[in-house]
Amino acid sequence: MTRSRWREEALRRGIPPRDVDLLLADLTAKPLSWVIAHGDDDVDATPLEAMLARRFAGEPLQYIRGKTEFYGREFLVDNRVLIPRPETEGLVEAAIARVPRGATVIDVGTGSGCIAVSLALERGDLRVIGVDASIDALAVAKTNRDRLRANVAFVASDVLTAIKRVSFVVSNPPYIAQEIVETLATEVRDHEPRMALTPGPRGTEVIERILDQAQRAPVMLEIGYGQDAEIAEVARAHGYDVDEILKDLAAIPRVVVLSAAW
């Protein structure tokens, strides 16, 4: 089957045809522009068929490719970690602009390490520590750190329990209410780590624990769609004020900046 036929098949199955081109680029070790220009050249279809079978079954493209782009860099990813989203780049941008010079920044639920590594590379004055309860996720984060030569320490920790001193916290925590997870797209619901998606029935359980364990340090969080009012209430209940709520490119409140109320 030619590239054009595979693209047609992808479209028929509700998959972006560009996914076919990206997989072909990976298999041929050629840039995307070459694939487009030489798309009907003969290639060994067997590995492409195996990859597309996974994609048609709902597995995320990023896991099949084993990589994704975040903040202008390539990060390795697999089903041990949440796939970095463009919206999370807004959290990194906000932290770069607002974290004081020389601060120690704790990235809670570091996952692939994309936030911690990006912060360390963009702000060499910071001491960055990524924590995660998942040892498997930390293995991925360490691989990304080493590949990108970032000065980041990674620590196994259930939220902040293993951290003695906190001066600034950033986090893209699990924030989806448990019942909503079942309504998500198959590639999210059935393939990404459940613990990175939902913390429990309310969706705010991990955020509450972060605020309780942050030692009154400033906290910067990514939040879900329509969650800003609820997070403001949770913050007040746990001794924090909302300083700013930043919107993403779709004008959705996405990053909340918190400081201790007393």
Break the chain into its structural domains and give their ranges: 3-57, 80-260
- End-to-end Cα spacing for the chain: 66
pLDDT in tens, 164-174: 999 999 999 99
CB 172, CB 180: distance < 8 Å? no
pLDDT in tens, 125-165: 999 999 999 999 999 999 999 999 999 999 999 999 999 99
Residue 43, pLDDT above cutoff 80: no
- The pLDDT-based confidence of 1 (bands split at 50, 70, 90) is low
The partner residues of 242 in beta bridges, in order of sequence, read 258
CATH 3.30.559.10 is right for the domain spanning 80-260: no
- The pLDDT-based confidence of 5 (bands split at 50, 70, 90) is confident
CA pair distance 148, 248, nearest whole angstrom: 26
Q: What does the pLDDT average to over 95-100?
A: 97
In the prediction, which pLDDT does 3 show?
84
In the prediction, which pLDDT does 11 show?
94
In the prediction, which pLDDT does 260 show?
96
In the prediction, which pLDDT does 36 show?
87
Computed over every residue of the chain, the mean pLDDT equals 95
Residue carrying structure tokens 């003969």: 42
Residue 70, pLDDT above cutoff 80: yes
Report CA-CA distances (Å) from 1 to 4, 42, 61: 8, 9, 20
Report CA-CA distances (Å) from 121 to 72, 75, 80, 114, 127: 11, 13, 23, 11, 11
Q: What does the pLDDT average to over 47-64?
A: 95
What is the share, in percent, of the chain residues with pLDDT greater than 90?
A: 90
Residue 177, pLDDT above cutoff 90: yes
Task: Please tell me what DSSP assigns to residue 38.
Answer: T
H-only helix segments in 149-181: 178-181
CA pair distance 52, 61, nearest whole angstrom: 9
What is the share, in percent, of the chain residues with pLDDT greater than 70?
A: 99
Using the Cα atoms of residue 66, residue 133, residue 203 and residue 225 in order, give the sign of their dihedral. negative
Residue 2, pLDDT above cutoff 90: no
Q: What does the pLDDT average to over 241-247?
A: 97
Q: What does the pLDDT average to over 186-211?
A: 96
Residue 41, pLDDT above cutoff 80: no
Q: What does the pLDDT average to over 98-109?
A: 97
